[in-house]
Chains A and B, each alone.
Chain A
Amino acid sequence: SQKIEQNSEALNIQEGKTATLTCNYTNYSPAYLQWYRQDPGRGPVFLLLIRENEKEKRKERLKVTFDTTLKQSLFHITASQPADSATYLCALDMEYGNKLVFGAGTILRVKS
């Protein structure tokens, strides 16, 4: 069966440290993988997109890796801040932006 798994437990880290979130999937072959941030009671906000032929993508303090052999993406936030506390969703892009399949998300809590 098709499955997307993100860290089921909340991730608690200290301010200034690097947060690493995992997204694993089975029985999908996405062309792209996207990461979103969702705050409580709000809609997701796009963060980064990585293509299947890209190994790594960076944007300011964010870094995403994509390993299509392992069927895994890692999402890193360096120098984390309390304002980074949110739920982070990975989404498999199955149709060039027209069909996103979301994971359940990982709650990140950054403590000062």
Chain B
Amino acid sequence: QSALTQPASVSGSPGQSITISCTATSSNVGGYNSVSWYQQHPGKAPKLMIYDVSNRPSGVSDRFSGTKSGNTASLTISGLQAEDEADYYCSSYTSRRTWFGGGTKLTV
């Protein structure tokens, strides 16, 4: 069982908004603000979408946003587009290790 729990799948229609949750099952999982989110299309390397809970790397659409409350982080994608269909992974880190959630398949 992963230390970060995500739903296996979510779905939405074009233009809608969806939210993917990520719950830490242990208090030892990463620093408080160390949550990040990755997008992965089939056969491709992961792409960083959100780091440190709510920050977007340069070039990532502002349709992607991140929040955190208690031990649960969330990724919200607004204005869903067909190209958003992918697997999404949450992650948390310390200086000594990194954890990934099990991944969520988004169907648009």
Q: Do A and B bind each other?
A: no
A residues sitting closer than 8 Å to B (CB atoms) are none
B residues sitting closer than 8 Å to A (CB atoms) are none
